[in-house]
Amino acid sequence: MRETYHRKLAALLGILAQMAAEAGAAMRQATYALTDADLWAAEETISRYDHVSSLAREAEEQAFNLLVLQAPVAGELRTVVSALQIVSDLDRMAVLATHIATAARRRHPNPVVPHELVGHFRQMGDIAVHLADATRDVLETCDPGRARQLDADDDAMDELYGSLFAVLMNPGWPHGVQAAVDITLLSRYYERFADHAVAIGARVVFLATGDLVSEADFHAS
- Name, in order, each residue with C-beta under 8 angstroms of 121's C-beta and a sequence gap of 6 or more: 31, 34, 35, 113, 186, 187, 190
For residues 44 and 63, what is the distance between their CA atoms, to the nearest angstrom? 29
Q: What is the pLDDT of residues 39-91, one digit of tens each?
A: 999 999 999 999 999 999 999 999 999 888 767 777 788 899 999 999 999 99
CA distances from residue 121 to 58, 93, 117 in whole angstroms, order as listed: 33, 17, 6
- Reply yes or no on whether the pLDDT at 6 is more than 90: no
Q: Residues 110, 177: contact at Cβ < 8 Å?
A: no
Confidence of residue 210 (pLDDT cuts 50, 70, 90): confident
Q: What is the pLDDT of residues 153-193, one digit of tens each?
A: 999 999 999 999 889 999 999 999 999 999 999 999 999 99
CA distances from residue 96 to 46, 89, 113 in whole angstroms, order as listed: 10, 11, 17
- Reply yes or no on whether the pLDDT at 1 is more than 90: no
pLDDT of residue 5: 77
- Name, in order, each residue with C-beta under 8 angstroms of 181's C-beta and a sequence gap of 6 or more: none
Nearest to 207 by CA among 116, 153, 142, 112: 142
| Among the ranges given (44-48, 71-75, 129-133, 212-216), the one the predictor scored with the smallest mean pLDDT | 212-216
Q: What is the pLDDT of residues 104-124, one digit of tens each?
A: 999 999 999 999 999 999 999
- Reply yes or no on whether the pLDDT at 215 is more than 90: no
Can you list the domains of the chain with their CATH numbers? Answer: 1-219 (1.20.58.220)
Please give the model's pTM, rounded to 2 decimal places: 0.94
For residues 113 and 107, what is the distance between their CA atoms, to the nearest angstrom? 10
- Reply yes or no on whether the pLDDT at 31 is more than 90: yes
Give, as one character, the DSSP assignment of residue 38: -
Distance of CA 36 to the CA centre of its chain: 22
| Terminal-to-terminal C-alpha distance of the chain | 38
Q: In a 3-state reduction of DSSP, which class is residue 216?
A: helix
